[in-house]
């Protein structure tokens, strides 16, 4: 996609979980809109491969980051401060999930999902959000899920618990920063047609159920989530904070 505007020109935006299906499209969209993107993930090689395919790659920064490790957040914020004048926005996209139900989930896996998907999001707001405030203000976008709001298909208990917490933390942080120049909003994707989802479900009864239960009659595209991120990360949303933006084809209103 070639855009005719550069709404994020001059802005520095940090993205976690950059190499997943949605993360890749978020990075691409932010870069296309003119941002300098801090591309982070545990897989640094995949980050480098992603940036190699984006124009003006020299404008961006690649950093390894396990979002569940506070010491790594501290290192990343320090590295960003050394490279750029500040940080204008961050996208908390990094997360892991589990398909297990309330009775099938095990404690170790549950704790790991919470550690990454919930605690990792908090750590991102704590450290990167503080840098955004010091820079003079900006935006935090937390990638949540419809499973933070509704029951979905009755599985993925740990993931739903983590995303429900992210939904509430977003509003809490929005109030904390309301007069300090930092906006905090959440985006709630429905079922998005990523390579990971298709690899697991394409052609299955579950895939058919995802489509059938989405009022628009199709799965979402990662590019559609990325477009919502670009809106909330930039200056077109300066009076929006604590808001939940659903990119779900109508799933939560059915």
Q: Is residue 4 predicted with pLDDT exceeding 60?
A: no
CATH class in words for 12-195+221-246: alpha beta
pLDDT (tens digit per residue) in 98-126: 999 999 999 999 999 999 999 999 999 99
CA distance 40 to 145: 21
CA distance 174 to 105: 32
Q: Which of 110, 159, 201, 246 is catalytic?
A: 159
Q: Which helix (H) or strand (E) holds 142?
A: strand 138-143
For the chain, the domains span 12-195+221-246
Q: How much is the pLDDT for 90?
A: 98
pLDDT (tens digit per residue) in 74-100: 999 999 999 999 999 999 999 999 999
84's tokens:
């750029």
Q: How much is the pLDDT for 247?
A: 98
| Average pLDDT score over residue span 201-205 | 87
> Given pLDDT bands bounded at 50, 70 and 90, which one contains residue 200?
confident
Which one, of 124, 92, 96, 122, lies nearest residue 108 by Cα? 96
Q: In this predicted structure, which of 61-65, 66-70, 153-157, 186-190 has the lowest mean pLDDT? A: 153-157
Question: What mean pLDDT is reported for the chain?
Answer: 95
CA distance 201 to 205: 8
User: Are 108 and 129 contacting, i.e. CB atoms less than 8 angstroms apart?
Assistant: no
Q: What percent of the chain has pLDDT over 90?
A: 89
Q: How much is the pLDDT for 196?
A: 83
Q: What percent of the chain has pLDDT over 70?
A: 98
Any catalytic annotation for residue 159? yes
CA distance 211 to 242: 29
User: Are 162 and 114 contacting, i.e. CB atoms less than 8 angstroms apart?
Assistant: yes
For residue 185, the cross-strand partners are 141
């Amino acid at each position: 996609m070639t855009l005719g505007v550069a709404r994020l020109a001059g802005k520095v935006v940090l993205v976690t979980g950059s190499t997943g299906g949605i993360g890749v499209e978020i990075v691409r969209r932010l870069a296309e809109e003119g941002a300098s993107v801090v591309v982070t993930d545990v897989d640094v090689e995949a980050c480098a491969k992603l940036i190699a395919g984006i124009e003006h790659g020299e404008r961006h920064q690649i950093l390894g980051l396990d979002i569940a490790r506070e010491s790594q957040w501290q290192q990343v914020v320090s590295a960003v401060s050394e490279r750029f004048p500040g940080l204008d926005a961050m996208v908390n996209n990094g997360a892991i999930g589990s398909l297990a139900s309330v009775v099938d989930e095990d404690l170790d896996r549950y704790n790991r999902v919470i550690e990454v998907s919930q605690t990792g999001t908090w750590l991102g707001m704590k450290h990167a959000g503080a840098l955004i405030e010091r820079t003079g203000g900006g935006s935090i976008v937390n990638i949540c899920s419809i499973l933070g709001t509704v029951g979905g298909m009755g599985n993925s208990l740990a993931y739903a618990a983590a995303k429900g917490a992210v939904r509430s933390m977003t509003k809490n942080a929005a109030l904390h920063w309301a007069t300090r120049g930092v906006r905090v909003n959440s985006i709630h994707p429905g079922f998005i047609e990523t390579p990971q989802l298709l690899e697991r479900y394409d052609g299955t009864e579950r895939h058919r159920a995802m489509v059938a239960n989405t009022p628009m009659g199709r799965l979402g595209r990662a590019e559609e989530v990325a477009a919502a991120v670009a809106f909330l990360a930039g200056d077109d949303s300066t009076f929006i904070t604590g808001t939940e933006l659903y990119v779900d084809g109508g799933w939560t209103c059915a």
